[in-house]
Amino acid sequence: MGGTTWFARSRCSGAPQHSPAARERAAQTARIPGSTNTRLDSRWGRRWEPRVASPFTHQPVLLDEALEWLALRPGAVVVDGTVGAGGHAAGILERTAPGGRLIAFDVDPEALAAARERLSGFGARVRFEHASFRALGAALARQGIDAVDAVLLDLGVSSPQLDHAHRGFRFGADTAGQTPLDMRMDPTAGRSAAALLAEADAEELASWFRDYADLPGARRLARAIVAARERAPLATAADLLRVIGESGVGRGRRHHPATQVFQALRIAVNDEIGALAEGLGAAIDVLRPGGRVVVIAYHSGEDRVVKQRFRDEARGCSCPPRQPVCTCGRRPKLRVLTRRPIVASPAELARNPRARSAKLRAAERLVEQAA
């Protein structure tokens, strides 16, 4: 049976208010072997499988910078927590040759299949995990790995997820009626956006729109959604766009208010902030003495979590500032390497405008505090 063509993955936030370049997407094609990725989605009672897509060029964001701050050496053991189609991963494997190993995580089975194909030439040096990076500690333990030399987390939703209506992340008017409110990065697990919209109360909905997208009128939209679902379920992007329009939220603003609404729902569906908090902790814990963690974020919410976690782990003591003697016993785990986030160079921006919103932060595990 012939293979299915799939986009290689490129990271972007999908939120123009934080990432003006999010609409500028690029990746290269890869082949997914046969139909081995077909699965049954019991929630929807239909089979889920990769879709056919046309090619475009992939340019990993901040590739050279990420490789430099990871401080890679031959033989290093590295985790790529969001491998996508393998752009950064290929560079890591090249830098750590001939004996370096990579453990590649991704929650999206389509992206993972693309990465398998792209990185097939590296053979047994790369292992793949269909899992969120929030579970990297347990996954590494199953493989008998107790410590690694570096961890890379390249955050954000991928271009193929945004570009294909069947994934439910987009709200283009031309396809809105056929776009299911799904938004799961792993289409085989968890609750869809439609399910959350059907179950969440007005207060919870408002908190998502406010906390995850800074949406003015969050409470008004939440009440409108609750009222609309009493008349009929919200099942497609067109259904949600109609409620947004009727609520009057975001009128007169530069960006379509659906941009913020869809971003907030995506974050809620995939628990992205919770996953990042857990994944950062797991990454820090698994680093060996002198090991490095590098995170590339694409919107302010993600970057704020990374910045604060690095700062807390570098400070150690969590006692109140006015307490004269430390009683918590916490000692610093990290040395922050990037006082300010690293951003794309003018040359990279010229060839890849979507890198405009990317911010890279790096930290190193302190030797005296490593397990």
Average the pLDDT over 108-119 and give the result: 91
- pLDDT for 26 beyond 70: no
Q: Which residue has the higher pLDDT, 38 or 356?
A: 356
* CA separation for the pair 295, 301 (Å, rounded): 13
pLDDT of amino acid 4: 32
Query: How far is it, in rounded angstroms, from Cα 285 to Cα 370?
Result: 8
Residue 213 lies in a domain: yes
pLDDT tens-place string over residues 54-109 = 332 357 899 999 999 999 999 999 999 999 889 999 999 999 999 999 999 999 99
Task: Indicate the residue among 209, 238, 270 that finishes a domain.
Answer: 270
In a domain, 298, yes or no: yes
Which pLDDT band holds residue 124 (cuts at 50, 70, 90)?
Answer: very high
Domain boundary among 270, 287, 308: 270
CA distances from 288 to 92, 145, 317, 368 (A): 18, 11, 21, 11
Mean pLDDT (whole number) for 219-243 = 95
Tell me the per-residue pLDDT of 303-323, one tens digit each, with 9 for 90 and over: 999 999 999 999 877 778 788
Which residue would you say has higher pLDDT here, 189 or 291? Answer: 291
Where residue 368 falls among pLDDT bands split at 50, 70, 90?
low
Residue 169 and residue 148 share a domain: no
**Confidence label for 168 from pLDDT (cuts 50, 70 and 90):** low
Query: Same structural domain for residues 150 and 286?
Result: yes
Give the mean pLDDT of 139-143: 95
Q: Is 273 exposed, middle or buried (0-12, 13-18, 19+ CB in 10 A)?
A: middle
For 180-196, the pLDDT digits (tens) are: 899 898 988 899 999 99
User: What is the distance between the alpha carbons of residues 205 and 76, in angstroms, rounded to a whole number?
Assistant: 44
Domain that holds residue 214: 163-270
Task: Give the end of a domain, one of 239, 270, 301.
Answer: 270
CA nearest neighbour of 17 among 261, 206, 207, 205? 261
67 within a domain of the structure (yes/no): yes
Domain-embedded: residue 41: no
Give the domain CATH number at 124. 3.40.50.150
Q: What is the DSSP letter of 169?
A: -
The torsion angles phi and psi of 12, rounded to 5 degrees, stand at -160, 160
Same domain assignment for residues 181 and 261: yes
Helix residue ranges per DSSP H, the chain: 63-70, 87-95, 109-118, 136-142, 159-163, 193-199, 202-213, 218-231, 237-247, 257-270, 272-286, 300-315, 346-351
> What span, in angstroms and rounded, lies between the C-alpha atoms of 4 and 9?
15
User: pLDDT for 355-367, tens place per residue?
Assistant: 888 999 999 999 8
Averaged pLDDT, 209-230: 94
* CB atoms inside a 10 Å sphere around CB 81: 29
Domain presence at residue 85 = yes
Tell which residue, 164, 182, 187, 184, has the closest CA to residue 40: 187
- Domain at 203, CATH number: 1.10.150.170
Backbone angles phi, psi at 157, to 5 degrees: -80, 150
State the pLDDT at residue 20: 34
Give the pLDDT of residue 164: 67
Residue 76 resides in a domain: yes
pLDDT band at 299 (very low <50, low <70, confident <90, very high): confident
Let me know if residue 200 belongs to a domain.
yes
> Which tokens in the block code for residue 369?
């505090």
